[in-house]
């Protein structure tokens, strides 16, 4: 096995046609002046955006094993109403996993329950 390695082009590269576009629409456009009530200002860069849940004392977290889907489900619950606030994986993913798990169980060959371990 040799240690030299080289990359050589195969064939002639296809010529790329340069297309110039006319910006007549941009040049003929009317400049828009909006009233102050309809303008949008840039957000404050000093306040970073957060993607976590608010620190409410009304939420609890739990982990449940879904037997049909054969996977763990992580849930955030509202303690007052026991409603699910957030869940991973979501319901659609759990249904897909349950379907594929049932298909896997159906396709397994039947095997004897008792196995003789003596030889």
pLDDT computed for residue 33 by the predictor = 79
Can you give the residue ranges of every domain in the chain? Answer: 57-108
pLDDT computed for residue 3 by the predictor = 59
Per residue in 8-50, pLDDT tens? 666 666 677 776 666 777 677 777 777 878 777 776 666 676 6
What secondary structure letter does DSSP report for 41? P
Per-residue pLDDT for 85 more than 80? yes
% of the chain residues with pLDDT over 70: 65
Tell me, rounded to whole angstroms, the distance of Cα 96 from its chain centroid.
15
**How many Å apart are CA 75 and CA 115, to the nearest integer?**
40
Sign of CA dihedral 54, 56, 58, 61: positive
Supply the mean pLDDT for the chain.
78
Task: Tell which residue, 64, 66, 92, 87, has the closest CA to residue 75.
Answer: 87
User: Helix (H, G, I), strand (E, B), or coil: what is residue 107?
Assistant: helix
pLDDT computed for residue 90 by the predictor = 92
Q: Does the reported pTM lie above 0.75?
A: no
Tokens at 76, concatenated: 């955030």
């Amino acid at each position: 096995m040799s240690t030299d390695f080289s990359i050589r082009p195969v064939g002639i590269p296809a010529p790329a046609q340069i297309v110039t576009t006319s910006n007549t629409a941009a040049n003929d456009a009317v400049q828009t002046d909006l009233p102050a009530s309809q303008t949008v200002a840039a957000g404050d860069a000093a306040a970073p955006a957060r993607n976590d849940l608010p620190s409410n004392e009304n939420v609890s977290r739990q982990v449940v094993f879904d037997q049909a889907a054969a996977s763990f489900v992580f849930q955030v619950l509202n303690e007052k109403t026991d409603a699910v606030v957030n869940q991973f994986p979501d319901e659609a993913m759990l249904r897909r996993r349950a379907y594929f798990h049932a298909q896997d169980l159906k396709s397994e060959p039947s095997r004897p329950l008792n196995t003789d371990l003596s030889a």
